[in-house]
């Protein structure tokens, strides 16, 4: 509050900071209410499943083959193509 009163922080920035802090507190509240106790650690709440960094080994060969097909198709389409030739105009007889 004193930063806003002194003018070192603008009201919109202070509002955004308070809103973000409220969301953090809400996450902690949910963790305490719905989280699971594992071992000696505190409760943990899984808000989203973990994202794998690599595809499973069973899919890597399939994905590599698919990528090679896509690269080949891109190379085939990247070859310069000439526009279709225009038909010759007929001249009017004089």
Q: Count other Cβ atoms within 10 Å, centred on residue 31.
A: 16
Q: Is the pLDDT of residue 40 over 80?
A: no
pLDDT at 82: 67
Residue 83: the pLDDT is 67
* CA 10 to each of CA 21, 26, 58, 71, 76: distance values in angstroms, whole numbers, following the listed order: 17, 25, 54, 51, 56
Assign 88 to helix, strand or coil.
coil
């Amino acid at each position: 509050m004193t930063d806003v009163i002194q003018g070192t922080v603008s009201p919109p920035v202070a509002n955004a900071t308070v809103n973000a802090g409220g969301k953090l507190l809400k996450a902690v509240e949910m963790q305490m209410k719905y989280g699971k106790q594992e071992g000696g650690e505190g409760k943990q709440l899984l808000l989203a499943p973990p994202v794998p960094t690599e595809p499973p080994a069973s899919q890597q060969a399939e994905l590599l083959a698919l990528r090679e097909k896509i690269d080949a198709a891109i190379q085939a389409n990247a070859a310069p193509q000439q526009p279709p030739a225009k038909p010759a105009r007929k001249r009017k007889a004089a």
